[in-house]
Amino acid sequence: MKPPSPTEVKSTCCYCGVGCGVIIETDGAGITGVRGDPDHPANFGKLCSKGSTLHLTQRPALRNSRLLHPELRTARNVPRARTTWDDALDYSVMRFRKIIEEHGPDAVAFYISGQMLTEDYYVFNKLAKGLIGTNNIDSNSRLCMSSAVAGYKQTLGADAPPCSYEDIEEAQCLFIAGSNTAYAHPILYRRIEAAKASRPEMRVIVVDPRKTETAREADLHLAILPGTDVALFNGMLHVLLWEDLIDRNFITAHTEGFEALKASVREFTPKAVAEICGISEADLVLAAQWFGESAATLSLYCQGLNQSTSGTAKNAALINLHLATGQIGRPGAGPFSLTGQPNAMGGREVGGMANLLSGHRDLSNAEHRAQVARHWGVEAVPALPGKTAVELFEGLRTKAIHAVWIACTNPAQSMPYQAAVHEALRNAEFVVVQEAYRNTETTWYADVLLPAASWGEKEGTVTNSERRISRVRAAVPAPGKARPDWEIARDFAKKLEARLRPGKPSLFAYDSTESVWMEHRESTRGRDLDITGLTYAKLEAGPQQWPFLPGQAQGKARLYEDGRFATPTGKARFVVTPYRPVAEAVDAHYPFRLTTGRLRDQWHGMTRTGTVAQLFNHAPEPAIGMHPQDLDRRGFAAGDLLRLESRRGNVYVMAAADDSLRLGQVYLPMHWGARFLGGRDIYGVNSLTVPAFDKDSKQPELKHAAVRITRAELPWRLAVFSHAHFGSAASLLDSLTPLLHEFAFASVVLFGREEEGVLLRLADKLAPSLQAIEDIDRRFGLAQSDVLRYDDARRGVGRRVNILHGKLNGVRLSGDSAQLAAEAWLKEWLICAEPVSAIRRFLLAPTAVAPAGFVSAGKVVCSCLNVTDSQITSALVQITGSAAQRVQTLQSTLRCGTNCGSCLPEVRRMVESVSAEVAFS
């Protein structure tokens, strides 16, 4: 591995909570490459498909997508105009101050992000709770991890994941619940693959309603019905008790509350639980036996447990299993919550949520509030709990909250019940949005738009899932006038405090991220996450886990090894966890269970990954996964445009056959917001989801909603696709945003690789005017005189074909759905840059059917090296040997899976399915 040179900077990936170390390569002006940091203990040099394309999100061609200058509007009916930092912040101070004077401090709110660095979080939290005097500051981590926080605190006494990634190498049984680790935490999954390869006897159990790539590779997959996890865990405890697989010594010495729990799980017999969960009794019993008999059981869990109205109970019920079997505080054992975002942990450490305070303190604790007030040098921290995410936007909608400052997150995409969130942002008296990107669903509503520095441009620290603090470093200057988030918050705070506490020394006298971090460090003294032995200088030498006490050479890899927990008695607490079903039951009107989840190559609302065409190739367009029999029964076929409707909204989306689902379940990836999946009054996938939340964690149930599905009655269709000029596909995509709301259905995506393109689909009840279609043609370079044209006004059919240097460069097809039949093969022809001479006569025939002999290149499996499923299937015909040998041969011939490895589970599945076919024949 090449050592870093002066033009290389070590930093951390900005996507998921694995927290991989990266080496950013620069040419001095811009970021030119990225590779994994071989010295970082989270990834040892590996990166997944998202991390290894980070440099592509910083290409000069994407500068138009960045927000480069502060912008301001003084009235809603005028467009924002470019302004200076001073004017933008002075105006924001004036509006915030006026609202606070008129309505009190709780009339303003902040909504921040697990994407922020710890230092950013710290300053915002002090600004809201210390200076303004409101606890109305919540984070998108509320949608991600708040149930894990509540679960840890209820049982173990502190919000501290007790394990490390190295426990994967020590575990004898891996219990993965509500986590498609192969997609959501790919580099961690590489470690699981390696552990399983070196120790095939390690048992892997996966609990997931879908047969995900992670579930397909498990030794035992419990495909429970959505939301029934608590019943499953209670049932497993029932079996553990029945079979005497509990650790009575551990329970007696280190826990309390076991008798009450024991009594509560009596009714969770295997028969009853199998019925509730929709699994076999035998599988339930086997899972409990493997969990209890194993010398070391490690649980890995994520949003499947957290994003639920029973999220806290699900977390606590799983931790109950660990405590009952003594599977905690030992190598390879423990309940290990995987964080979704890169710095959800850092946000929790500084108390950057409506119910938390710095240093893992609780807002509800008067002594904690007094400690933090002393630390900050303010009179008091308010006692009234702040509004959590769903409550905060509901407060805006009902005008109980008048102003909101949103930083580094996109609630108009990611919150449930989007119609209400968009109404909230429309109703708000004053909206500040601090963002790196110009066009997000949330920036549409900003009165003041503040340009923020992004990954590769800012300094600070993040904490990953295993409590490991890593440095984030700037490799290049931020573009335009963009500035780091902590600096923006500091300067706003200084201007505001000059008004609120004139003449007093500043609470925000920070001159660097280190100065912020040192104050945060001091707030941890004596707490469970004490890092007073750590310094920025020590972090320069490498990342470290907390706690890290003075005099120590390194942090603590594993917590609770001495059996002492962070409760007042030192004993862990069993929690009685009654089973409650999901908030929204299916019924005759809404008969399908919708679950949401992640794609392999996209991240959250796609603000960043949605700028790179390569990252669309594995899952090119929004699609609703349905069991093939459900498609048949309803008379649908893959590719049909369907209407999904919940009690809160609807979306139109194409059907896809998906055998990973049970009958009656459907699946939509969470990423597609209104910028990609729109239509009149349609706000992407979260148009459908439920705002009901867990009573303890206040985390909403994004994982389940009841929907009905009908065929879209939208006879007029249009599909247009084209290479984008000068590599500016993302700019073209952004420019189409207003158009997406003019039609009943609209979707837009990127496609291609080196040469990127944009595909726009529209559908409506009636055809729009010819001018409207011409306007679309113009945007896609299809209005020039040399473009080939076919029009049949009587049938309302139209076609445009742009040929450049003998190759297809752009195509528009419109009319009824039959007119779009040629779209798939024409798009492939365009992407493959095949000469147009062979198809010229088809292009303007009444129906542009594919030429005889046309064979589709297939769907991309390996997005790094552009290897498709057709190539893999063809190659497998020639390859013999064991499954592992055939995977190796595929890797040496086609090279799939040899770069980041994210596609390896899918490659293995293809190898297995070919083996199964051969065996069957």
**Window contacting ligand SF4 (CB under 6 A); options: 9-17, 674-682, 854-862, 870-878:** 9-17
**248 contact partners, CB below 8 Å, separation of at least 6:** none
- Per DSSP, the chain holds a count of helices (H) and strands (E) of 30, 37
Binding of residue 48 to ligand SF4 (CB under 6 A): yes
Do 482 and 457 contact (CB within 8 A), yes or no? yes
For 202, 301, 790, 812, the CA distances from 174, given in Å and listed in that order, are 7, 10, 60, 51
Cα angle value 763/768/773 (rounded, 5°): 90
- Smallest gap from residue 800 Cβ to ligand SF4 (A): 39
**Window contacting ligand SF4 (CB under 6 A); options: 43-51, 467-475, 617-625, 880-888:** 43-51
Select 43 or 115, whichever has its Cβ closest to ligand SF4: 43
Residue found by looking up tokens 């459907």 in the block:
666
**Window contacting ligand SF4 (CB under 6 A); options: 46-54, 152-160, 307-315, 422-430:** 46-54
Interface with ligand SF4 in residues 175-204 (CB under 6 A) = 185-187
In the chain, the amino acid numbered 450 is L
Binding of residue 13 to ligand SF4 (CB under 6 A): yes
Instruction: Identify the CA nearest to 553 among candidates 542, 564, 565.
Output: 542
Binding of residue 15 to ligand SF4 (CB under 6 A): yes
Considering only residues 10, 11, 19, 482, which one is a binding residue for ligand SF4 as defined by CB under 6 A? 19
CA 908 from chain centre, in angstroms, equals 25
**Residue 790: CB atoms within 10 Å:** 15
**Window contacting ligand SF4 (CB under 6 A); options: 48-56, 95-103, 468-476, 811-819:** 48-56
- Smallest gap from residue 54 Cβ to ligand SF4 (A): 8
- Smallest gap from residue 174 Cβ to ligand SF4 (A): 17
Interface with ligand SF4 in residues 861-920 (CB under 6 A) = none
- Smallest gap from residue 684 Cβ to ligand SF4 (A): 22
**206 contact partners, CB below 8 Å, separation of at least 6:** 176, 177, 212, 214, 215, 218, 220, 221, 222
Query: Helix, strand, or coil here: 449?
Result: strand
| The token pair that represents 120 in the structure block | 């950013």
Radius of gyration from C-alpha coordinates of the chain: 27
Select 57 or 596, whichever has its Cβ closest to ligand SF4: 57
Considering only residues 11, 20, 432, 740, which one is a binding residue for ligand SF4 as defined by CB under 6 A? 20
Select 471 or 648, whichever has its Cβ closest to ligand SF4: 471
Select 185 or 254, whichever has its Cβ closest to ligand SF4: 185
**Residue 821: CB atoms within 10 Å:** 15
Considering only residues 51, 105, 395, 605, which one is a binding residue for ligand SF4 as defined by CB under 6 A? 51
Binding of residue 47 to ligand SF4 (CB under 6 A): yes
In the chain, the amino acid numbered 556 is K
Do 145 and 138 contact (CB within 8 A), yes or no? no
Select 16 or 720, whichever has its Cβ closest to ligand SF4: 16
Q: Residue 542 burial by CB count (10 A; 0-12/13-18/19+): exposed, middle or buried? A: middle
Considering only residues 50, 483, 627, 800, which one is a binding residue for ligand SF4 as defined by CB under 6 A? 50
CA–CA separation, 803 vs 720, rounded Å?
14
Considering only residues 11, 18, 310, 596, which one is a binding residue for ligand SF4 as defined by CB under 6 A? 18
**Window contacting ligand SF4 (CB under 6 A); options: 16-24, 25-33, 224-232, 508-516:** 16-24
Select 95 or 185, whichever has its Cβ closest to ligand SF4: 185
DSSP assigned state of 339: P
Binding of residue 533 to ligand SF4 (CB under 6 A): no
**Window contacting ligand SF4 (CB under 6 A); options: 41-49, 228-236, 554-562, 620-628:** 41-49
Binding of residue 348 to ligand SF4 (CB under 6 A): no
Select 16 or 750, whichever has its Cβ closest to ligand SF4: 16
- Smallest gap from residue 48 Cβ to ligand SF4 (A): 3
Residue found by looking up tokens 């450049």 in the block:
804
**Window contacting ligand SF4 (CB under 6 A); options: 13-21, 224-232, 444-452, 480-488:** 13-21
CA–CA separation, 64 vs 278, rounded Å?
50
| The token pair that represents 566 in the structure block | 């962070």
Considering only residues 11, 26, 43, 524, which one is a binding residue for ligand SF4 as defined by CB under 6 A? 43
**215 contact partners, CB below 8 Å, separation of at least 6:** 180, 206, 208, 221, 223, 660
- Smallest gap from residue 14 Cβ to ligand SF4 (A): 7
**Window contacting ligand SF4 (CB under 6 A); options: 12-20, 256-264, 297-305, 626-634:** 12-20
Peptide bond into 161 cis (omega under 30): no
**Residue 44: CB atoms within 10 Å:** 16
Please identify the residue of the shown chain whose CB is closest to the bound ligand SF4.
51
CA–CA separation, 398 vs 418, rounded Å?
15
Instruction: Identify the CA nearest to 421 among candidates 449, 444, 390.
Output: 390
- Smallest gap from residue 183 Cβ to ligand SF4 (A): 10
What residues line the site for ligand SF4 (CB under 6 A)?
13, 15-16, 18-20, 43, 47-48, 50-51, 185-187
